[in-house]
């Protein structure tokens, strides 16, 4: 999962292009299919916990990796990529170009997406 998320973040930011400039959005749109088949190593499948807080007393919510995988498998990869993007306006703009789908079907066939080989 982490290696895939790193590649996705690199393409979203445009760092794989020769005309990369840190303050300009030169990245591409990324469509990820089969996000449900993401794999983690070691004991992360049993031990990893996703936390969020509602900013109210007692508002901490915890969801394990296994629960997240069965409920929202694309959200696992979305959170991993989001953590690797800059926390700026440009980073948010670049992050919006990520499209994740749990299964093999996606509505972007008209744009003729090209497969990207992950090293």
Residue 21 is predicted with a pLDDT of 95
- Lookup: tokens for 58: 């007692």
How do strand 60-64 and strand 49-53 relate by DSSP bridges?
antiparallel
**DSSP label at 15?**
T
Cβ neighbours of residue 22 under 8 Å, at least 6 residues apart?
Answer: none
Question: What is the model's pLDDT at position 119?
Answer: 75
Q: Which domains does the chain have, with CATH numbers?
A: 2-104 (3.90.1180.10)
Residue pLDDT tens, the chain, 119 long: 999 999 999 999 999 999 999 999 999 999 999 999 999 999 999 999 999 999 999 999 999 999 999 999 999 999 999 999 999 999 999 999 999 999 999 999 999 999 998 87
CA dihedral sign of residues 75, 65, 32, 109: negative
- Identify whether the C-beta of residue 51 lies closer than 8 Å to the C-beta of residue 62: yes
Contacts of 55 (CB under 8 A, 6+ apart): none
How far is residue 83's CA from residue 81's CA, in Å, rounded to a whole number? 5
């Amino acid at each position: 999962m982490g290696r895939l998320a790193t590649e996705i973040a690199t393409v979203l930011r445009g760092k794989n292009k020769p005309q990369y400039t840190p303050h300009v959005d030169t990245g591409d749109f990324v469509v990820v299919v089969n996000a449900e088949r993401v794999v983690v190593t070691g004991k992360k499948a049993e031990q990893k916990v996703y936390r969020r807080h509602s900013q109210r007393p007692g508002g901490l919510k915890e969801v394990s990796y296994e629960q997240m995988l069965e409920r929202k498998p694309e959200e696992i990869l979305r959170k991993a990529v989001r953590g690797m993007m800059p926390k700026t306006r440009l980073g948010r703009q670049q992050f919006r170009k990520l499209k994740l789908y749990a299964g093999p079907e996606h509505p972007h066939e008209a744009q003729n997406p090209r497969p990207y080989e992950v090293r």
